[in-house]
């Protein structure tokens, strides 16, 4: 007997939009989240404001959460881990493990929205000194300070006078095996640069980039604003080494526009770390027998024309579980996955016309 209940795995932006779509279409929802709160990476990583519109993250995510949790068709399972899957869609038996024990939930289709993890800049290389120097931090570390309404040197607690961003850390790097652009880092770094300049008008902010990748309206909303209004400097260059010189961080590399070596002293260096497939994404791929594409994310079958359909019937994917995705991509994919999941169970239940 087929089941018309839809399971969404992951409570981040893509998962919440998929969940909202399911209940708005009138189907029962089981939303599974391994953490103890909904909101995904924007909440767990303490994002201060969303890119590109600078909306307060907690306000925006609360709006998405409430759209799901206030619906009577939604069954929210926090602190829950999927430990087993039996059957095939639309007759899936999914075992959930919680502190209270295990439970088998019957569902007809699944949307996997397990997101990404941030690249660990000390995992493969120490050329940036992330684990060596207190004043070398990541975009995520910077977000946490900005959320608290401040930006200081971790080593001293004092406001910095010189700050730089290093782009493409863990992205577009064949030596590491990360042969992709993470799509959001240029925008987030530019957003943070604007925020730092607004907090500290006397602080010089530089962005060292390979190529600035500003999608759609980001060019106007972030890039030009950062340069023209906030006087953020963008230098095309490749950073080869980060060391300490006295109390300052020395950034060495090449200014590729001018074709000459560069050495600059900074108070804080921010590494623009990219995306990698999350542990949850890998685990769900194994659990539901979903193949991974060549870069390690969940494979889809339709390319640009069908971004959410996996090769397994009744299993759909949304957001960064399928590859690097910005917020707009994630929301769009979540809505599309919800529609296709509901259409799948509805089509199975329709009588066969001979």
Q: Report pLDDT digits (tens) over 244-262.
A: 999 999 999 998 888 899 9
Q: Report pLDDT digits (tens) over 288-331.
A: 999 999 999 999 998 889 999 999 999 999 999 999 999 999 99
Domains in the chain: boundaries: 6-115+278-349, 119-274
* Residue 351 pLDDT exceeds 70: no
Q: How confident is the model at residue 175 (pLDDT cuts 50, 70, 90)?
A: confident
* Residue 132 pLDDT exceeds 50: yes
Q: How confident is the model at residue 229 (pLDDT cuts 50, 70, 90)?
A: very high
Q: 316 φ, ψ to 5°? A: -120, 160
Predicted pLDDT of residue 1: 46
Predicted pLDDT of residue 353: 53
Q: Helix, strand or coil for residue 351?
A: coil
The pLDDT mean for the chain works out to 95
Q: Do domains 6-115+278-349 and 119-274 have the same CATH topology?
A: yes
Mean pLDDT computed over 74-79? 98
Is the Cβ–Cβ distance between 217 and 225 less than 8 Å? Answer: no
Number of residues that this document lists for the chain: 354
Predicted pLDDT of residue 125: 60
According to CATH, the topology of domain 119-274 is: FAD/NAD(P)-binding domain (3.50.50)
List of long-range contacts for 37-40, beta carbons under 8 Å, 24+ apart = 37/11, 37/78, 38/11, 38/65, 38/68, 38/69, 38/76, 38/78, 39/11, 39/12, 39/64, 39/65, 40/10, 40/11, 40/12, 40/13, 40/14, 40/15, 40/16, 40/115
The matching CATH number, chosen from 3.50.50.60, 3.40.50.360, 2.60.40.10, 3.90.420.10, for 6-115+278-349 is 3.50.50.60
Is the Cβ–Cβ distance between 333 and 310 less than 8 Å? Answer: no
User: What is the edge-to-edge ordering of all strands in the sheet holding 81-88?
Assistant: 81-88, 91-98, 101-107
pTM: 0.95
């Amino acid at each position: 007997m087929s089941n018309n209940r839809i399971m969404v795995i992951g409570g981040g932006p893509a998962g919440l939009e998929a969940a909202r779509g399911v209940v708005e279409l009138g189907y029962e929802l089981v939303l599974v989240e391994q953490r103890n709160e909904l909101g995904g990476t924007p909440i767990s990583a303490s994002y201060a404001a969303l890119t590109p519109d600078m909306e307060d993250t907690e306000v925006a995510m609360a709006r998405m959460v409430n759209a799901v949790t206030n619906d009577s068709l939604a069954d929210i399972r926090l602190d829950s881990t999927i430990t087993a899957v039996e059957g095939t869609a639309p007759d899936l038996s999914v075992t959930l493990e919680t502190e209270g024990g295990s439970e088998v939930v019957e569902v007809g289709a699944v949307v996997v929205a397990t997101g990404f993890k941030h690249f660990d800049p000390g995992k493969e290389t120490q050329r940036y000194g992330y684990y060596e120097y207190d004043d070398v931090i990541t975009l995520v570390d910077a977000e946490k300070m900005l959320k608290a309404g401040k930006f200081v040197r971790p080593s001293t607690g004092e406001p910095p006078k010189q700050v730089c961003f290093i782009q493409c850390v863990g992205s577009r790097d064949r030596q590491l095996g990360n042969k992709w652009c993470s799509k959001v880092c240029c925008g987030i770094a530019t957003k943070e640069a604007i925020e730092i300049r607004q907090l500290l008008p006397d602080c010089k902010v530089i962005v060292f980039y390979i190529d600035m990748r500003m999608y759609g309206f980001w060019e106007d909303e972030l890039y030009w604003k950062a340069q023209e209004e906030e006087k953020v400097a963008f230098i095309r260059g490749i950073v080869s080494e980060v060391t300490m010189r006295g109390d300052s961080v020395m950034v060495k590399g090449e200014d590729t526009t001018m074709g000459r070596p560069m050495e600059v002293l900074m108070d804080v260096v921010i590494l623009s770390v990219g995306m990698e497939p999350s542990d949850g994404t890998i685990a769900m791929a194994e659990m539901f027998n979903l193949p991974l594409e060549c870069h390690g994310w969940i494979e889809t079958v339709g390319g640009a024309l069908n971004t959410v359909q996996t090769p397994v019937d009744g299993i759909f994917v949304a957001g960064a579980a399928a590859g690097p995705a910005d917020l707009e991509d994630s929301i769009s994919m979540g809505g599309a996955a919800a529609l296709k999941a509901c259409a799948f169970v509805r089509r199975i239940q329709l009588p066969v016309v001979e």
